[in-house]
Structure 1
Amino acid sequence: MLWDLFCRVIDNFGDMGVCWRLASDLGQRGHEVRLWVDDPSVLSWMAPQVSWQHDPSLGMETGCGQPGVTVCHWADAESLPADITAAPHPLLPGDVVIEAFGCDLPEAFVARMQRPAPPHWVNLEYLSAEDYVERSHGLPSPIWHGPGAGLRKRFFYPGFTPATGGLLREPDLLTRRAAWHDGARQVWLQRHGIPWTPGERVVSIFCYANAPVADLLTQLSALSAQPTSTDEFAAPAPLTHVLLAHGHATQLAQAWLSTAPKPPFGVHLHPLPALPQPEFDHLLWSCDLNFVRGEDSAVRALWAGKPHVWQIYEQDDGVHADKLNAFMNRWMAEWPADVRQQVTALWQGWNGLAPLPAALPDWTPDRAPWARHTLMARKTLLKQADLVTQLVQFVSEAG
């Protein structure tokens, strides 16, 4: 099938992150995707394999380099004539048109969807674990006015239950994840300038500007200064490497370092450049504890199978608190009460909904209850079909 996927780049790039993974996954499964984006410059680091050239068949500049995916400028979809209706014109809408996150399709493109057999029009919604998702998934929305009058779109909601559209997960993702052993981890970390040796702990931080990074780093520094046992001759806790995502995490950590009363003991900070999506997965796989933000990174942290903390995008009306609580209740539903309470307190503190706990839950690699129950929760999620599988079925069954 040919898919037209429309995406507007929001300030934090999360929408583009989801859309690029979706387009790439569809392409890897043999579909053709035209990704229409208003600011493709973000792909220079998210997907640096994309290069731009003039496409004579389309009569416009396109980006290529990812199998099955052609990147197009949003402005071209707005400016092309609305009366292109004769098949097989290359700019006719494809079999499926995806409106990502309510981005409002260009009117000229919607007008071209008016033909005897209109494409499937899908509104891909934001991820949530709230109850309304199950009620809303799959609902139709007829268009009564404008160039799309008479057409119909349907809502597709990602989610965490069988009654939703599932989560993005490439067919081979967990196989690649399982093959990421300590040797691969060490090579990747050293390639990025982190002189890690087995036994040392690794934490990643990818956050918004309001994250309490200074408080976290103070806790990690104090934790690293503690002996490994009550023996007065015991060695201190292992060194902790903190890998800082490009942007707010690096800025906040550097501000903490400049104001710390004394040099931090046992914590080494490592600023990272902006990473392509496959490299971001490797970052999560290489850490023992991950602090992530937004939708795309949160889902990748789930599949990484390591303890993680999610910073949700803060909204002025405070509804993000309900969204966060709904996910915590879903993700930690089968966890023991004490583990759930400790991790919930950290998540709430990291999101500014409560004070940051005085101590972190135990996140000792492979041994801590938090790590064990994270893997169990991931196993539960793996029982549902992935988003692309469900999306293809969703449009195929509609006839």
Structure 2
Amino acid sequence: MLQPKTRWDIFCTVVDNYGDIGVTWRLARQLVAEHALEVRLWVDDLRAFERLCPEIDIDVAQQWQQGVEVRHWPSDWVHTEAADVVIAAFACQLPSDYMDVMAEREKPPLWMNLDYLSAEDWVIGCHGLPSVKYKSVQKFFFFPGFQPGTGGLLRERGLLDQRRQFQHDRAAQRQFLQGLGIDRAADAQLISLFAYENTGLASWLDVLAADAMPTHLLVPEGRILGDVARWLGVETLSVGALHVRQALTVQVLPFVRQDQYDHLLWCCDFNAVRGEDSFVRAQWAGRPMLWHIYQQDEDIHLDKLDAFLALYTKGLSPAAAEATNGLWRAWNAGLPIAEQWLAARNHWPELHKNAEAWCLEQGLQADLAAALVQFYLNWI
């Protein structure tokens, strides 16, 4: 059992707008709420953080939010005492002055690099291994993942029970959607779209508009809005915009905070997501999904995509697995996806069943926060 006053520092540099801060903010809150730890979250971009936590004052360098001490990571570092556990999120470089303070401690802290999420096989072999050393302080690799032998996924206590209750409560769903200004038609499928720019989008919207089944497409503020606007033939799209094209209704939503986004995913029949944090949350929704992975140099992100697909589609029939693989790969290549979407639709009941089974399978593993705490307990 951890001592209540165990202090943790989490460092985050905002690279992809919201993915990095989304993961670290969620982790920091869970460590405080479920493990009674003292957590400081160091962030170099409070303006991006404000989108996820509107209560943040971007002009204040030190503040407390939901039990977490939030500190602005300044360009000119000020002396501060090093924590018992130091997490460098996504291989960010710690301030050199802080590293010196870590080395000056009588008992060096546990220093971990919380890496990007990947389903690749090599992750299991590298998870928990020592990395570089700075003076007396040893750094360790810590990899989130989908298989035993990794650090697992972020999942708050009771999350899956909350999700199931919400998805069985039509009145609660209706109330939530109405709070966002969404009036869902009784016979319309609900799809959320949160993605990077994608030239394949127009083909998907074409087939949704021409479909016999009506679709209500919910698009939170984000980078895909420009592509949606071009397809609609309008100059810009702002929050609250509502456009109807044949069987397709497109509605632009505000950028919502994390708990609201969870509920949005839980309401939808299908979720298109991007990055890492939204990707994990869509899996906890237990609904069919489409992932737009963050593009990396030399297309190494496609190896990560294929590694996840190999795990995610393992329980599907060959035809359903082929349809899912085709849809995800075409979407991530920016290719037209009309044909692949229709192929996936042919296996809709099976895809729903697989999404729920995958969610429950992942829920059997220790969550990321608990795994980090256990790693520290083993270390001491």
Common topology (TM > 0.5):
yes
Secondary structure (helix, strand or coil) at the match of 2:217 reads strand
The yes-or-no answer on 1:395 pairing with 2:376 is: yes
Write out aligned runs for 1:66-81 (5 A): 66-67=66-67, 69-75=68-74, 78-81=76-79
Write out aligned runs for 1:43-82 (5 A): 43-51=49-57, 61-67=61-67, 69-75=68-74, 78-81=76-79
Mapped to 2, the partners of 1:357 and 1:253 lie a distance apart of 16
Per the alignment, residue 111 of structure 2 pairs with 121
Contact in 2 for aligned 1:157/1:164 (Cα 8 Å): yes
Aligned length: 362
Give the letter for the 2:33 counterpart.
Q
The yes-or-no answer on 1:107 pairing with 2:93 is: no
Per the alignment, residue 182 of structure 2 pairs with 194
Mapped to 1, the partners of 2:116 and 2:201 lie a distance apart of 26
Per the alignment, residue 185 of structure 1 pairs with 173
Mapped to 2, the partners of 1:289 and 1:363 lie a distance apart of 11
Mapped to 2, the partners of 1:4 and 1:276 lie a distance apart of 23
- State the 1:51 CA deviation: 4.3
Contact in 2 for aligned 1:98/1:121 (Cα 8 Å): yes
- State the 1:197 CA deviation: 3.8
In the superposition, the TM-score normalised over structure 1's length comes to: 0.86
Which of 208, 212, 217 lines up with 2:196 in the alignment?
208
The yes-or-no answer on 1:252 pairing with 2:238 is: no
- State the 1:331 CA deviation: 1.2
Residue segments in structure 2 that go unaligned for 5+ positions in a row = 1-5, 235-242
Larger radius of gyration: 1
Residues 73/48 of structure 1: CA separation in 2 closer, same or farther (3 Å cut)? same
In the superposition, the TM-score normalised over structure 2's length comes to: 0.90
Contact in 2 for aligned 1:123/1:154 (Cα 8 Å): yes
- State the 1:353 CA deviation: 7.0
Secondary structure (helix, strand or coil) at the match of 2:297 reads coil
Per the alignment, residue 47 of structure 2 pairs with 41
The yes-or-no answer on 1:335 pairing with 2:310 is: no
Residues 189/122 of structure 1: CA separation in 2 closer, same or farther (3 Å cut)? same
Residues 364/303 of structure 1: CA separation in 2 closer, same or farther (3 Å cut)? farther
Mapped to 2, the partners of 1:20 and 1:299 lie a distance apart of 14
The yes-or-no answer on 1:9 pairing with 2:7 is: no
Contact in 2 for aligned 1:362/1:369 (Cα 8 Å): no
Per the alignment, residue 133 of structure 1 pairs with 123
Percentage of identical aligned residues: 40
Mapped to 2, the partners of 1:211 and 1:388 lie a distance apart of 37
Residue-by-residue CA offset, 1:32-76 (whole Å, 9 max, x unaligned): 11000100112222012334786xxxxxx3122212x01101117
Mapped to 2, the partners of 1:211 and 1:135 lie a distance apart of 37
Write out aligned runs for 1:234-383 (5 A): 237=213, 239-258=214-233, 264-352=245-333, 355-358=336-339, 359-361=341-343, 368-383=349-364
Residues 142/347 of structure 1: CA separation in 2 closer, same or farther (3 Å cut)? closer
Secondary structure (helix, strand or coil) at the match of 1:349 reads helix
Residue segments in structure 1 that go unaligned for 5+ positions in a row = 55-60, 82-90, 227-236
- State the 1:309 CA deviation: 0.3
Secondary structure (helix, strand or coil) at the match of 1:285 reads helix
- State the 1:198 CA deviation: 3.3
Contact in 1 for aligned 2:323/2:344 (Cα 8 Å): no
- State the 1:24 CA deviation: 1.1
Mapped to 2, the partners of 1:150 and 1:253 lie a distance apart of 53
